[in-house]
């Protein structure tokens, strides 16, 4: 067996981004991966403007203002946002609103709550520092600056930044087309009668949901019975339309496990077993020229290996530059006193005391542990955990998304 880190390195080394791109409206590009840099053609803001509703002034006019010696200035102009006033008349102020351009001659803004009006004049009782409440031109973005780079996921904040420089369209990678099927004659679709020896196919719902979270276009071939012919047919069907093939189940070497011989009949296996718990039987290979990932059939094993191995591979295939989730160092409020020969990802949840609790049953068939948990803790092979130790915690909030 190879280690988890070796498996991840192999998989990322084999991942190739899709080459198909499309240009889409920025308004509808949330979650997509940028394929071409976005460079601003303008300054943002495009001019000095007011941060507040108030009065634009020459700071020199207020140099001696105090409560004992207030300065009274007449209002010579009114400048709402979206309009530009003329030069500020000497010895006067301009009523100005948030976002409105600073008039020529003015160098500061005084907030409206810091003044009072008397007999048509504005009364100032304190000096104004040059530049007070003024947003300078290009203080956010300068013309020629790159505001988003190829390989970045388009988050709501990044889309807002792109829109702020006037880019109505962006060039993104096409959705990754993933053909997925689930191996096992015992699998039954939820809603159907559960016969003797049957189990409901939960992996189909988990894996499809994870693929959707990552922005993939899933081609679901459903359940494939335990036969070499059916498995070969499913692989060939997926290879005709998909950029990537993923299977779940049938990954062991028993007489009813047909994934390995089927893949080898149509292509090759490059990686087979990983020293990982849960999830030892994980495969990487090629089928009819298309990459293939085989996940275990046990629900927790399938879930964990998808997050920790398939997810970064998929993100790289989508054109993402950074595919790794950085773990948080958090306090363990649990113990693991028996070392495991494989690296282990245990299901945990943050508690109100700022530490991590562990689900009491870590069996690879107990899917309740995944629904209960809010993340995974990485325990190295042979490692022990004592209460109070700092451990590497991967939040599901990061693992479930492509941001």
CATH code of the domain covering residue 130 = 2.170.190.11
Count CB neighbours of 202 within 10 A: 15
Residues 181 and 291 in one domain: yes
Same domain for 231 and 278, yes or no, is: yes
Output phi, psi for 87, to 5 deg.
Answer: -60, 145
Can you give the CATH number for the domain in which 287 is found? 3.40.980.10
What is the dihedral sign for C-alpha 252, 258, 264, 270?
Answer: negative
Report if residue 141 sits inside a domain.
Answer: no
Residue 31 counted as domain residue: yes
Query: CB neighbours of 371 closer than 8 A, spacing ≥ 6?
Result: none
Other beta carbons less than 10 A from residue 255's beta carbon: 7
CATH number assigned to the domain comprising residue 351: 2.40.340.10
Residue 250 pLDDT: 84
Query: Structurally, how many domains does the chain consist of?
Result: 4
Report field, pTM of the whole predicted structure over 0.85: yes
Q: CA-CA distance, 403 to 401, in Å (whole number)?
A: 6
Q: Is residue 323 part of a domain?
A: no
Rounded Cα distance between 134 and 155, Å, is 29
**What pLDDT is attached to residue 253?**
61
- pLDDT at residue 402, as a whole number: 65
The answer to whether position 66 is within a domain reads yes
Q: Are residues 111 and 178 in the same domain?
A: no
| 224 and 265 both lie in a single domain | yes
Same domain, residue pair 273 and 251 = yes
Residues 281 and 184 in one domain: yes
Domain boundary among 266, 285, 317: 317
Q: Are residues 154 and 186 in the same domain?
A: no
Round the CA-based radius of gyration of the chain to a whole number and report it: 30
- 10-residue mean pLDDT series, the chain (403 residues): 95 94 97 96 97 97 96 96 92 97 97 94 97 97 98 95 98 97 93 92 96 94 93 96 94 74 95 92 95 95 97 96 94 95 97 97 94 98 97 96 68
Torsion of CA 315, 317, 321, 324, to 10 degrees: 40
Residues 204 and 158 in one domain: no
Burial 268-301 (b: 16+ CB within 10 A, else e): ebebbbbbbbbbbbbbbbbbeebbbbbbbbbbbb
Shared domain for 182 and 155, answered yes or no, is no
159 with 107: CB under 8 angstroms? no
Chain-centre distance for alpha carbon 45: 28
Q: Can you read off the two tokens belonging to residue 226?
A: 């335990």
pLDDT, position 403: 60
Contact 362, 340 (CB under 8 A): no
pLDDT at res. 256: 64
Residue 186 falls inside a structural domain: yes
Phi-psi region of 191 (alpha: psi -120 to 50; beta: other; left: phi over 0): left
Sole residue written with tokens 């829109």 = 163
Residue 125 within a domain: yes
Q: What is the DSSP string of 4-37?
A: HHHHHHHHHHH------EEEEEGGG-TT-BBSS-
Question: What tokens were used for 254?
Answer: 């028993």
Say if residue 162 is in the same domain as residue 37: yes
Q: Quick one: how far is CA 237 from the chain centroid?
A: 31
- Helix, strand, coil percentages, rounded to 5, for the chain: 25, 35, 45
Closest CA to 333 of 397, 390, 372: 390
Q: Are 162 and 33 found together in one domain?
A: yes
CA angle 71, 77, 82 (to 5 degrees): 130
Give the residue ranges of DSSP H helices in 214-269.
228-241, 259-266
Classify residue 145: in a domain, yes or no: no
Confidence (pLDDT) at 231: 95
Structural domain boundaries enclosing 36: 21-44+150-168
Q: Judge whether 190 lies within some domain.
A: yes
Instruction: For residues 279 and 188, state if they share a domain.
Output: yes
């Amino acid at each position: 067996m190879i280690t988890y880190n070796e498996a991840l390195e192999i998989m990322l080394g084999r991942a190739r981004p899709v080459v198909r791109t499309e240009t889409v409206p920025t308004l509808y590009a949330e979650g997509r991966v940028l394929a071409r840099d976005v460079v601003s053609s303008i300054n943002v803001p495009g001019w000095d403007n007011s941060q507040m509703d108030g009065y634009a002034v020459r700071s020199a006019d207020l140099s001696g203002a105090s409560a004992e010696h207030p300065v009274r200035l007449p209002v010579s102009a009114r400048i709402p946002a979206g309009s530009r006033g003329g030069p500020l008349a000497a010895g006067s102020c301009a009523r100005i609103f948030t976002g409105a351009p600073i008039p020529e001659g003015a160098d500061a803004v005084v907030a409206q709550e810091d003044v009072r009006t008397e007999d048509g004049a504005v009364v100032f009782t304190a000096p104004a520092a040059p530049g007070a409440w003024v947003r300078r031109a290009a203080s956010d973005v300068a013309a020629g600056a790159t505001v988003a780079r190829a390989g970045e996921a388009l988050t709501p904040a990044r889309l807002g930044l792109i829109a702020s420089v006037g880019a109505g369209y962006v060039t993104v990678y096409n959705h990754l087309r993933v053909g997925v099927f689930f191996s096992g004659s015992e699998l039954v679709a939820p809603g159907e009668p559960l016969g003797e020896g049957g189990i409901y196919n939960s992996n189909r719902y988990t894996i499809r949901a994870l693929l959707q979270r990552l922005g993939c276009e899933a081609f679901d071939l459903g359940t494939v019975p335990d036969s070499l012919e059916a498995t070969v047919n499913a692989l060939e069907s997926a290879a005709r339309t998909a950029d990537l093939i993923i299977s779940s189940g049938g990954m062991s070497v028993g007489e009813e496990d047909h994934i390995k011989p089927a893949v080898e009949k149509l292509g090759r296996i490059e990686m087979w077993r990983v020293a990982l718990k849960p999830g030892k039987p994980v495969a990487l290979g090629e089928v009819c020229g298309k990459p293939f990932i085989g996940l275990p059939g046990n629900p927790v094993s399938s879930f964990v290996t998808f997050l920790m191995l398939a997810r970064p591979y998929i993100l790289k295939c989508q054109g993402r530059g950074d595919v790794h989730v950085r773990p948080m160092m958090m306090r363990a409020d649990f113990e693991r006193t028996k070392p495991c020969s494989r690296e282990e990802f245990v299901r945990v949840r943050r508690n109100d005391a700022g530490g991590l609790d562990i689900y009491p049953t870590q069996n690879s068939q107990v899917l309740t542990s995944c629904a209960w948990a809010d993340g995974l803790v990485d325990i190295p092979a042979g490692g022990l955990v004592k209460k109070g130790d700092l451990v590497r915690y991967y939040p599901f909030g990061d693992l479930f998304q492509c941001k």
